[in-house]
Structure 1
Amino acid sequence: MSGATFDYGPDFYDEPTVFPRYQEARAAADEGNTTLEEPYVLAFVGDLRGRTVLDLGCGDGTFGASVLRAGADRYHGVDGSSRMLAAAAARLDPATLERTDLNAWTCREPGAWDVVTARMVVHYLDDLPALLREVRTALAPGGRFVLSVEHPVVTCAYDGDFHDGVPSEMRVRGYFDEGERACEWLGSSVRKVHRPVETYVSELLGAGFALTGLSEGRPVPDNFRDPRTCEARRAVPMYLTIRAEKPAG
């Protein structure tokens, strides 16, 4: 491993070299989140007109801007990075933002949210059941929760063969051994938490949610500029996106 080592949180994305690298990576053509994860998140959140949206791990506000353009009545973003929130504040209007380490986040407005999202953040957090309890508290009856994570096939070992940044294969080791992993991200070694697919599903069910959608990021040609990249992306599932709903009763 090269570079500095950080835990997820304010100290990572607030590092001077990390934030610009993040922006550059996300702006790349046919970037993975944009082509494989975000389309399914947008499909799972559904029609947002008149809805209230709580976005956990809101980042630089790019997704929040999409939510507001889609007609959401209210948007609130939570993130642990001051640099991310500064970028979000410059991009979002109207919106409210909150700086909180999501490992310690608690719901301040029970039942106030029609939709809660947590994009690419849960795999940094230690206590999944605690987060799910807070999300369930935050949701209005019948509300939906959409979360996305790196696919557990990837997080179990972070060992694969890549061509132009796209994996041709990933080596699966210790898949059912849950816990900490380290991976190279933006020039640093970053700590993440590996969980199998069944853990995400069983924890959601155990928290009282109904599972209503699941995606492994199947590549769709219309989402890509380069059809060769789309074809290459068929080799390895990179993202797991789940939609769950709080019972209406």
Structure 2
Amino acid sequence: MSTTTGTYGYGPDFYDDEQVFPRYQEARAATDEGNATLEEPHVTEFAGDLRGRSVLDLGCGDGRFGASALAAGARRYHGVDGSARMLALAATRLDPGTLEKADLTTWKSAEPGVWDVVTARMVVHYLDDLPALLGEVRRCLTPGGTLVISVEHPVVTCAYDGDWHDGVPSEMRVRNYFDEGPRDCEWLGASVRKVHRTLETYVGALAGAGLPLTGLSEGRPRPENFRDPRTGTARRAVPTYLVLQARKPTA
């Protein structure tokens, strides 16, 4: 297989690469893949019962979460993503009219105050201005509405340096943890820029936006989510995901 040598400063450009995109799909389809086993179960738990609720999905990707939200009884769904290839795939699972192509660095909601649940899965670590996005999220949530964010865990994003076996890290070398800012991540045959933030910064940004933290998970592995118990055991060595739940006050 040929390799991609590109370096991408923004997530959507990375995923729209003609070689990266199929590699990403292949990675997501792998048995006991990390998002499916470590991140998604905690996102689903924090999002709560979606029956009769409206869901805004920032960084909606291939639309799988949107399809599951509607299957769970959500009365309305809207997905936003900057990648044309991801949105095209999402449109095979969802009504294209529920999808919006937009750059989340400048995105503004056309419908403030109407969304009961907002999700931002594995996307905000591509953005420089987290407070700006969180302010917009607060504006579009209903009173008492829920925000669920997932990101790569800060012990991973600080250096991207570790020992990996079959796609599972057995050790990460934590360096320059409190020096926040851009990092280059080599993944799927290319390099993509991500932004490292500490756990303290994520929690503080939520509070600063008026969205106090109500739940936190580091993607603790649950044996029932793994087909191969050996993978579940190996995943206990290093936390690779951080999932945060926050709520907009009712008054």
> Which letter does structure 1 place at the counterpart of 2:142?
A
Shift in CA distance, 94/114, structure 1 to aligned 2, threshold 3 Å: farther
Post-superposition shift, 1:248? 0.7
Q: Which amino acid aligns with 1:169?
A: E
**Aligned mate of 1:32, from 31, 34, 37:** 34
d(CA) in 2 for partners of 1:101, 1:143 = 23
Q: Structure 2 matches for 1:1-249, cutoff 5 A?
A: 3-93=5-95, 96-249=98-251
Tell me if structure 2 keeps the 8 A contact 1:75–1:94: no
- Stretch deviating more after TM superposition (105-114 or 238-247): 105-114
Amino acid at match of 2:19: T
Cα distance, 1:25 vs structure 2: 0.4
Contact 1:77 1:96 in 2 (8 A): yes
Q: Is the 8 A contact 2:11 2:193 kept in 1?
A: no
| Separation in structure 2 between the aligned mates of residue 183 and residue 89 of structure 1, nearest angstrom | 29
Give the secondary structure class of the aligned counterpart of 2:110: coil
In 1, distance between residues paired with 2:5 and 2:153? 24
Deviates more, 1:86-95 or 1:61-70: 86-95
- TM-score by length of structure 1 reads 0.98
Q: Structure 1: which 5+ residue stretches go unaligned?
A: none
Segment drifting more, 88-97 vs 183-192: 88-97
Distance change (3 Å), C-alpha of 1:94 and 1:18: closer
Distance 1:86 1:218 in 2: 32
Aligned structure 1 segments of 4 or more residues deviating by more than 4 angstroms: none
C-alpha distance after superposition, 1:178-198 (max 9, x if no partner): 100001111101100000000
| TM-score when normalising by structure 2 | 0.97
**Cα 1:208/1:188, change in 2 over 3 Å:** same
Asked whether the 8 Å contact 2:115–2:141 carries over to 1, the reply is yes
Q: CA deviation at 1:210?
A: 1.9
RMSD: 1.3
What secondary structure, in the 3-state scheme, does the structure 2 residue paired with 1:103 have? Answer: coil
The offset of 1:10, in angstroms, is 3.5
Q: Is the 8 A contact 2:11 2:192 kept in 1?
A: no
Contact 1:74–1:95 (Cα < 8 Å) also in 2: no
1:18: Cα distance to partner?
Answer: 1.3
Which amino acid in structure 1 is aligned with residue 195 of structure 2? V
Q: Distance in 2 between matches of 1:51 and 1:66?
A: 13
Secondary structure of 1:172's counterpart equals coil
Q: Which runs of 5+ in 2 are unaligned?
A: none
* Aligned-partner Cα distance in 1 for 2:216–2:119: 14
Task: State the aligned residue count.
Answer: 249
1:119 maps to amino acid? R
Alpha-carbon separation, structure 2, partners of 1:91 and 1:28 = 20
User: Could you tell me how far apart the structure 2 residues matched to 1:138 and 1:25 are?
Assistant: 33
- More displaced 10-residue stretch of structure 1: 15-24 or 52-61: 15-24
Contact (CA 8 Å) 1:115, 1:144: kept in 2 or not? yes
Per-residue deviation, 1:94? 7.8
CA distance in 1, matches of 2:169, 2:17: 27
- Mapped to 2, the partners of 1:179 and 1:11 lie a distance apart of 19
